[in-house]
Amino acid sequence: MRLQSERFLTHLRATRNYSPHTLRAYGKDLEAFVVKYPGLEPSAIERVHVRAFLADLQKEGGLARATILRRMAALRSFVKYLRSAGLLKGNPVFGVPLPKRGRPLPKFLTENEMAELMSVPSGPDSAQRLRDRALIELIYSSGLRRAEVVSLNCGDVDYMSGTVRVFGKGSKERVVPVGDGALKALRAYLQGRRHEDAEPMFTGPSGKRLSDAGLVFILSRWVKASALKKKITPHVLRHSFATHLMNRGCDIRMVQEMLGHVSLQTTQIYTHVSLDRMKEVYKDSHPRSSK
Domain-terminating residue out of 84, 101, 125: 84
Query: Among 71, 131, 133, 145, which one carries the catalytic annotation?
Result: 145
Query: Among 131, 238, 239, 244, which one carries the catalytic annotation?
Result: 238
Residues in CB range of 105: below 8 A, 6 or more apart: 269, 272, 273, 276
Residue 244 annotated as catalytic: no
Q: Assess whether 190 and 279 both reside in one domain.
A: yes
Residue 238 annotated as catalytic: yes
| Amino acid in position 224 | K
Which residue intervals of 119-195 are DSSP H helices? 127-142, 146-150, 180-190
Query: Among 18, 26, 189, 270, which one carries the catalytic annotation?
Result: 270
Q: Assess whether 77 and 116 both reside in one domain.
A: no
Q: Assess whether 273 and 150 both reside in one domain.
A: yes
pLDDT higher than threshold 60 for residue 291: no
Look up the domain containing 222 and give its range.
111-283
Query: Does residue 99 fall inside a structural domain?
Result: no
Query: Does residue 91 fall inside a structural domain?
Result: no
pLDDT higher than threshold 90 for residue 102: no
Quick check: 33 and 77 in contact, CB under 8 A?
no
Q: Assess whether 73 and 135 both reside in one domain.
A: no
Say how many domains are in the chain.
2
pLDDT higher than threshold 80 for residue 18: no
The pLDDT value given to residue 17: 73
Residue 270 annotated as catalytic: yes
Could you give the maximum distance between any two Cα atoms of the chain, in Å? Answer: 70
| Amino acid in position 232 | I
What are 132-173's pLDDT values in tens digits? 999 999 999 999 999 999 999 999 999 999 999 998 877 789
Residue 235 annotated as catalytic: yes
The pLDDT value given to residue 189: 93
Residue 165 annotated as catalytic: no
Query: Does residue 202 fall inside a structural domain?
Result: yes
What are 47-72's pLDDT values in tens digits? 999 999 998 888 866 678 888 888 99
Query: Among 11, 16, 169, 195, which one carries the catalytic annotation?
Result: 169
The pLDDT value given to residue 212: 92
Q: Residue 66 sits in a domain of what CATH number?
A: 1.10.150.130
DSSP string, 3-31: HHHHHHHHHHHHHT---HHHHHHHHHHHH
Q: Residue 129 sits in a domain of what CATH number?
A: 1.10.443.10
Q: Assess whether 197 and 71 both reside in one domain.
A: no
Cα–Cα distance, 226 to 236 (Å, whole number):
16
